[in-house]
Amino acid sequence: MHRIEHTVPSMNTPTIAPLPQRAAAIEAALQAHGLDAAGGIAQGVHNAEDVWLPERGARVVAKAWVDAAFRDRLLANGKAAVAELGIELPPHHRHLVALENTATVHNVICCTLCSCTAFTVIGLPPDWYKDLNYRARIVRESRSVLREMGLDLPDAMELRVWDTTADTRYMVLPHRPAHTQGWSEAQLAAIVSKDAMIGVARL
Amino acid sequence: MDGVHDLGGQQGFGPVVHRADAAVFHEDWEKRINALYGVAVRAGIFNMDEYRHAIERMEPRHYMSAGYYERTLTSLATLCVEKGVLSWADLEQRAGGRFPLALPLGPGRSNAADAQAFHIGDRVQVRLEHVSGHVRAPGYIRGKRGVVVHISPAYPFPDAHAHGVPADDEPTYDVRFKSTDLWPDTADNAFVHVGVFQSYLIPAA
């Protein structure tokens, strides 16, 4: 570990470089160090834009709705169940817990300490999930925050909040709407949103 | 550490600005830096606990004013400098201005010597302890009692893993707390579940 001098940001020192320049600087420095920064960025941006999409989690949800045995496997071992659909989690996510909503129980996920999510399954977290306001308030002012976000839960509905403080990851298995009886798996998947798998919406 | 990152249950924060089609990224550099820290993790420059702790080590005013990806960027740069992979002067020269990093790393700790295993349904209590280094027990559960509802496989112990301290992997327990036990009289009615490392727990008195 190299000893470095740290300074506190203050007003009377040279200007802080704009963020795009700081980002470009570290990218170029790591490339110069011998890391394939450009290749890694291309792959990572591809994953973020084309692979880690909520449509993946929506396929998991739709299958759980139509296939009771798959639903049971998903609730018992989420990581193994999503692997059946070709969905991998990063190595440090060793466990995926699916949280089943019912007519009387609602689940919502958060990460108060940073912004952890099962991003390879439900998609990367939206801006508001990472915002300080959501992180501070959802555990304590849960029903109020959900109401502000358009989800007004009846008092009788049990609310379960899940704070992602370890490397276990969570996804909400939404309650299947009654009007979807007889729909195909593809039709069902099309109505499952990232918000519903975070738990700030019901379908 | 008792830092500003430990936001759960803090009061005075405003409405969540929510849109149904909310963006993940707002600028191109955010996508690139999100990919780049993953490159550094896969290259073995640092692990996820070091990454999270370097974000927590940001000077509090910097942390609070930075967006999510500025925190990612700052952690990545800090760890690359601390590990001797990059030089801070070189980063500032390339960036054409100051490049604020996080504050220095302090000591970590290994697993609790008296840690014990629990089972689903056990009543547990979170140790009443104040840790200066990395810790993944949010302050709002400190000393509180709850019930184990899930058990995870063993994970690296963050308090050690973020500091290069040897430790055994240990399971985490999803512990169910009542919001009204956490914040009597000033919480909406709900169960709050937290993933709690074994070393943070003792049997409920």
For A115-127, what is each residue's pLDDT tens digit? 999 999 999 999 9
- How many Å apart are CA B167 and CA B158, to the nearest integer? 9
Nearest CA among B56, A125, A139 for reference residue B48: B56
pLDDT band at A4 (very low <50, low <70, confident <90, very high): low
Residue A16 CA: distances (Å) to CA of A11, B36, B172: 9, 21, 40
pLDDT at A5 over 70: no
In this predicted structure, what is the pLDDT of residue A66? 98
In this predicted structure, what is the pLDDT of residue B30? 98
Q: Where in chain B is the domain with CATH 1.10.472.20?
A: 1-100
Q: Do A140 and B186 touch (CB under 8 A)?
A: yes
Contacts of A160 (CB under 8 A, 6+ apart): A99, A105, A106, A107, A108, B176, B190, B191, B193
Q: Is the dihedral of CA A15, A16, A21, A26 positive or negative?
A: positive
- Residues of A within 8 A of B103 (CB-CB) are 6, 8
In this predicted structure, what is the pLDDT of residue A1? 46
Residue B126 CA: distances (Å) to CA of A114, A118, B168, B176: 20, 25, 20, 12
Q: Domain B1-100 has what CATH class?
A: mainly alpha
Q: Do A114 and B86 touch (CB under 8 A)?
A: no
- From the list A26, A28, A125, the residue facing B73 with the nearest CB is A26
Q: Where in chain B is the domain with CATH 2.30.30.50?
A: 123-203
- Residues of A within 8 A of B196 (CB-CB) are 165-166
B145-155 sheet: strands from edge to edge: A105-110, A158-163, B191-197, B170-178, B145-155, B123-126, B201-203
pLDDT-flagged residues of chain B (< 50): none
Running DSSP on this structure, what letter comes out for residue B140?
G
Is residue A110 annotated as part of the catalytic site, yes or no? no
Nearest CA among B157, B179, B173 for reference residue B123: B173
- Helical (H) or strand (E) element with B195: strand B191-197
- From the list A17, A92, A162, the residue facing B96 with the nearest CB is A17
Summarize pLDDT for B39-60 with one digit per residue, the tens.
999 999 999 999 999 999 999 9
Q: Do B61 and A158 touch (CB under 8 A)?
A: no
Structure tokens at A8: 């506190």
pLDDT at A6 over 90: no
Structure tokens at A121: 């399954």
Q: Do B26 and A136 touch (CB under 8 A)?
A: no
| Minimum distance, in Å, between the CA of residue B41 and any CA atom of chain A | 11
Q: Do B96 and A27 touch (CB under 8 A)?
A: no
Is residue A184 annotated as part of the catalytic site, yes or no? no
Q: Do B172 and A167 touch (CB under 8 A)?
A: yes
Calculate the average pLDDT of chain A: 94
Summarize pLDDT for A93-149 with one digit per residue, the tens.
999 999 999 999 999 999 999 999 999 999 999 999 999 999 999 999 999 999 999
Nearest CA among B133, B130, B118 for reference residue B174: B118
Tally A–B CB contacts below 8 A: 282
- From the list A8, A29, A143, the residue facing B94 with the nearest CB is A29
Are A202 and A174 in contact by the 8 Å Cβ rule? The answer is yes
Q: Is the pTM of this model over 0.80?
A: yes
Please name the fold of domain B123-203: SH3 type barrels. (2.30.30)
Q: Do A30 and B39 touch (CB under 8 A)?
A: yes
| Minimum distance, in Å, between the CA of residue B205 and any CA atom of chain A | 24
- Residues of B within 8 A of A139 (CB-CB) are 8-9, 140, 179, 182, 192
- Residues of A within 8 A of B31 (CB-CB) are 44-45, 48-49
CB-based burial, B115-147: b 16+ in 10 Å, e otherwise: beebeeebebbbbeeebebbbbbbbbbbebbbb
pLDDT at A10 over 60: no
In this predicted structure, what is the pLDDT of residue A14? 83
In this predicted structure, what is the pLDDT of residue A12? 58
| Minimum distance, in Å, between the CA of residue B99 and any CA atom of chain A | 6
> Looking at B29-157, which runs of residues are DSSP E strands?
123-126, 145-155
Give the domains, in start order, of chain A with CATH numbers: 19-49 (no CATH), 52-198 (3.90.330.10)
- As a whole-number percent, the residues of chain A with pLDDT over 90 amount to 91
Residue B76 CA: distances (Å) to CA of A41, A132, B32, B60, B80: 14, 21, 12, 17, 6
Is residue A114 annotated as part of the catalytic site, yes or no? yes
Q: Is A156 on the interface with B (CB under 8 A)?
A: no
Q: Residue B7, CB half-sphere, CA atoms under 13 Å: how many?
A: 26
pLDDT band at A92 (very low <50, low <70, confident <90, very high): confident
In this predicted structure, what is the pLDDT of residue A13? 65
Q: Is A187 on the interface with B (CB under 8 A)?
A: no
